[in-house]
Structure 1
Amino acid sequence: MRKTQVSQRRAYFIGIGGIGVSALARYFLSQGWEVSGSDKSPSPLLRELKAEGIKIKIGEQKKNLNPEADLAVYTQATPSDNPELQEARKLRIRTLSYPKALSELTKEFTAIALAGTHGKSTTTALTALALLESKMDPTIIVGAKIPQLGGKNFRLGKSKYLVVEADEYKDAFLNYYPRAALITNLDREHLDYFKDLNHVKRSFRKFINNLDNNGILVLNRDNAPLLSLGKQLKRKVIWYSLKEKMLAQKIKKHLKIYGEHNLSNALGVYKLAIALGIKEKDIFKAFSRYGGAWRRMEYRGDMRHKTLDIRIPVYDDYAHHPTEIKATLSAFREKFPKMRIICVFQPHQADRLKKLFKEFSSAFDEANNLILLDVFKVKGREKRKAGTRKEVNSEKLVKTIQKRGSGPETVLYLPHSARLRQTLNKLIKNKSVIVMMGAGDIVDITPRLLK
């Protein structure tokens, strides 16, 4: 899918506002394709794409699709009855899912894939920056906006290298064929697709089998499921661990991001970068440059408390799984050891809340106050039998956390986000910090607090 000698080709992206799909759309644009696409509702990312020359349609209608399109790319979440997808197939336009389209790039480039249940975007960003520091000039596709990439999720390089975030949902990463791979951890996640942890392990085993026979494989020794999987492999494995204390302390001196999980991520990237032939000084320069990504402990501004006449820092974070919540709140505690943490959490996907309910109930212990909003329901991923929707919800989680007798001092259920500022004003004291957390549209609520 590199530049060709033929007349300009046309690509259409269904769900172009997705963080991964939008990066791929930017790649096609960089290759001279005429790019257009649609999504359900407006967003800042769509405005960015439009400003770059991509034609954007709001709403999914078959009339949006140019009948002369050469390719239609759709997200993993696109249902088979999507009118645009149906129209593309009716018109015999070539259709590819996002992973299938990205697969073709991993075959054209020397691909470096960053995988794992948690930490993919951070490790992708750190790896990409290490290659940039060493003048390896990679093309980059990452699932977050990165300040060092001009606030984008894509960069076009001139070399053979492609650094790509490899998502495991619906086995997307089984379409990729990397030359090098780093896997951060395995966990019970995406349980609307994976049946259990063993299912997750089997998929990651298949992903490893896609790796070049002489390729580089870096695994986290501290993650028990990954350690178990790695010991079964009949290939060379480069391990990393926080127990390598001298190396960990050396790396920590250069890191600008907080949390033990991020130190672990950086350790993995260090081992990968060394294996790729990158000099240590360039790795440390990359680490010192990276201050975080979009919705990863991202400082958004201050909320003013008129009565106390103080300003409270407000952060956004994408954490939506109990493991991520614990790690992120621990990182905030490390960053603000003497401040009160007020966590506003929007559960993401009812099925995840149900299957990991026990884990969620103990995930917020590092917060002083907790406000739970209603569950963000993910279209296409909330298949439930009639009458089962009320089995678990945010209100029930609040009551369960309160009964534990430990954890946050105050735990509140707030069904209407319009009252969030008023509720926060009652909880705020001197030396407080607000953490807006979740993978849904809670990110759109944050600006209301900053006015």
Structure 2
Amino acid sequence: MTHLQGKHIHLVGAKGTGMCALAEILIAKGAMLSGSDTAETFYTDKILKELGIPLSLFEETELRSDIELVIHSAAYDEENPVMASAAAAGIPRLSYPEALGELSMNYDAAAVAGVHGKTTTTALIGTLIKALGIQATVIAGSAVAGFSNRSTWIGGDRFLIAETCEYRRHFLHFHPRHIVLTSVESDHQDYFPDYASIKNAFMEFVTALPENGKLIYCHDDFGARDVAIAAGAKRPDIRLIPYGENAPGRWAVNHGATAPGINKFRIGAFEKEFTLGIPGRHIALDAAAALTLTHCINPNFDVETAVAALSSFRGSRRRCEIVGETGGILVMDDYAHHPTAIRATLKGLKAFYPDRRLVVDFMPHTYSRTAALIDAFAGSFTDADILILHPIYASARESFTQKVSGEELAGQTARQRKNGTTFFHEEFDQTVQYLRKNLRQRDLFITLGAGNNWSIGQNFLEVRP
């Protein structure tokens, strides 16, 4: 997309995180925006209001005659009334991935991709970019504390660093010169039925890099390493840059001694020790990826400034987010919804908060993922002292005919857990009542998953005397 000054654009599904982030960039480039969405309130409502974007409900939206382009969330198609009106009027339409892809052609672009870790990695990159004054724009998949609780940092037009999504191969619309690849494994089973299919999607993305493009990949992750090796064999011109605990070369990560509230690491390229205020070795790996990409685009950055920037990083929305504290009980929320992410998150919390009892509430997301990974899910809660599970959060995007349930997952998990207690709660109110009666000082309660159980922590904080 070029020549955006004064261009009238309507956003369908404007409240989505990516759509709202895109809106900030379009406004910065002079576009005139309007939007439509549901009546449900999201954190982005406040941002859209601050940006001065008028919003209307889908069913009440009438597209003005001066609308030149409609950009829509990938969640909506022409069954949406605004999309149908745009089609009938012959107004050009782009999905969010398509629009972001067109935008990327105007920059020296870098993509952050992977099944896990891409949001935090992108947020860490943005934190470094901002502190170092690099002329770049960054789009993360969640609100970032250091971006004034927005998902976008606009610091210049030379580079565009964006979180990109593998689902339905959306990332193929993006045109990067650098790719950061955090992880590859089986996920989104409603679209990628097995590991081979999702690997092929990542392969297609990586091998589309321009000549001498760079792939920064996590050497510790089997899938990322597998893709890197295969891509390197197919495209020898691609520069492969590994990072991680077992990575060869200067981007090898060495973790510091574990201590409560401290997450320290060193990286071979620098003599300095880095400190993070977010738990988990996986977060240190994300920070290593961020440092590697930052070095690729600006090799002479000030390391002391980078050390200070990473130590100030306070995460992003729904990524080990501290929701509140009451009576010495810490309440957190995290988006982890895959067994690998769950294990890493809980292990990190145990090391970071060793004196707290870990009470975990998890809501499985999508029937296809739960069925495909039920054994892995059942074995992923080892570090939880108390575990509460719920019915599966269904997705409108999947059609699933097999039989699987949250109660089945709870039973299998309880049989695998050698220590701790496992409950199945049908209703959230049941969980809130349990928490009120059983949580005690020094407990850490965390909601996990891509469902709507995040509300439990907030409700507990509201009703606790």
User: Scaled by the length of structure 1, what TM-score is found?
Assistant: 0.91
User: Are 2:297 and 1:286 aligned?
Assistant: no
CA offsets per residue over residues 151-186 of structure 1, 9 Å max, x none?
100122333111111111111111111121110110
Q: Give the Å deviation of 1:65.
A: 3.2
Query: Does structure 1 conserve the Cα–Cα contact (< 8 Å) formed by 2:126 and 2:153?
Result: no
Amino acid of the residue matched to residue 212 of structure 1? P
Q: Give the Å deviation of 1:32.
A: 2.5
User: Are 2:400 and 1:384 aligned?
Assistant: yes
Q: Give the Å deviation of 1:36.
A: 2.0
Amino acid of the residue matched to residue 338 of structure 1? D
User: SS state of the match for residue 239, structure 1?
Assistant: strand
CA distance in 1: counterparts of 2:114 and 2:416, whole angstroms: 31
**In 2 relative to 1, CA 247–351 (structure 1 residues): closer, same or farther, beyond 3 Å?**
closer
Q: Give the Å deviation of 1:149.
A: 0.8
Amino acid of the residue matched to residue 410 of structure 1? T
Query: Does structure 2 conserve the Cα–Cα contact (< 8 Å) formed by 1:62 and 1:83?
Result: no
**In 2 relative to 1, CA 2–353 (structure 1 residues): closer, same or farther, beyond 3 Å?**
same
User: Corresponding residue for 2:280?
Assistant: 259
CA distance in 1: counterparts of 2:444 and 2:353, whole angstroms: 8
Query: Does structure 2 conserve the Cα–Cα contact (< 8 Å) formed by 1:369 and 1:427?
Result: no
Of 448, 457, 464, the residue aligned with 1:437 is 448
With 114-123 and 246-255 compared, the bigger mean Cα shift is at 246-255
User: SS state of the match for residue 441, structure 1?
Assistant: coil
Q: Give the Å deviation of 1:378.
A: 2.1
Q: How many residues end up aligned between the 2 structures? A: 436
User: SS state of the match for residue 302, structure 1?
Assistant: strand
Amino acid of the residue matched to residue 339 of structure 1? R
Q: Give the Å deviation of 1:355.
A: 1.6
User: Corresponding residue for 2:270?
Assistant: none
Q: Which runs of 5+ in 2 are unaligned?
A: 247-251, 257-264, 268-272
Amino acid of the residue matched to residue 51 of structure 2? E
With 106-115 and 274-283 compared, the bigger mean Cα shift is at 274-283
**In 2 relative to 1, CA 62–103 (structure 1 residues): closer, same or farther, beyond 3 Å?**
farther
CA distance in 2: counterparts of 1:158 and 1:268, whole angstroms: 21
Of 367, 370, 375, the residue aligned with 1:350 is 367
User: Corresponding residue for 1:16?
Assistant: 14
Q: Give the Å deviation of 1:247.
A: 7.9
Root-mean-square deviation over aligned CA pairs = 2.0
CA distance in 2: counterparts of 1:158 and 1:403, whole angstroms: 54
CA distance in 2: counterparts of 1:442 and 1:88, whole angstroms: 35
Of 250, 263, 266, the residue aligned with 1:250 is 266
**In 2 relative to 1, CA 83–431 (structure 1 residues): closer, same or farther, beyond 3 Å?**
same
Q: Give the Å deviation of 1:414.
A: 1.2
User: Are 2:372 and 1:374 aligned?
Assistant: no
Query: Does structure 1 conserve the Cα–Cα contact (< 8 Å) formed by 2:432 and 2:456?
Result: no
User: Corresponding residue for 2:45?
Assistant: 46
User: Corresponding residue for 2:324?
Assistant: 301
Query: Does structure 2 conserve the Cα–Cα contact (< 8 Å) formed by 1:342 and 1:435?
Result: yes
User: Corresponding residue for 2:345?
Assistant: 328
CA offsets per residue over residues 389-445 of structure 1, 9 Å max, x none?
xx21211111111222525x2111111112322111333234211001122222333
Query: Does structure 2 conserve the Cα–Cα contact (< 8 Å) formed by 1:130 and 1:278?
Result: no
User: Scaled by the length of structure 2, what TM-score is found?
Assistant: 0.89
User: Corresponding residue for 2:422?
Assistant: 411
User: Corresponding residue for 1:306?
Assistant: none
CA distance in 2: counterparts of 1:101 and 1:255, whole angstroms: 34
CA offsets per residue over residues 288-315 of structure 1, 9 Å max, x none?
2212111111111124xxxxxx331100
With 260-269 and 250-259 compared, the bigger mean Cα shift is at 250-259
Q: Percent same amino acid at aligned positions? A: 29
Name segments (4+ residues, structure 1) moved above 6 Å: none
**In 2 relative to 1, CA 278–172 (structure 1 residues): closer, same or farther, beyond 3 Å?**
farther
CA distance in 1: counterparts of 2:4 and 2:440, whole angstroms: 61
User: Corresponding residue for 1:423?
Assistant: 434
**In 2 relative to 1, CA 405–242 (structure 1 residues): closer, same or farther, beyond 3 Å?**
closer
Q: Give the Å deviation of 1:105.
A: 1.1
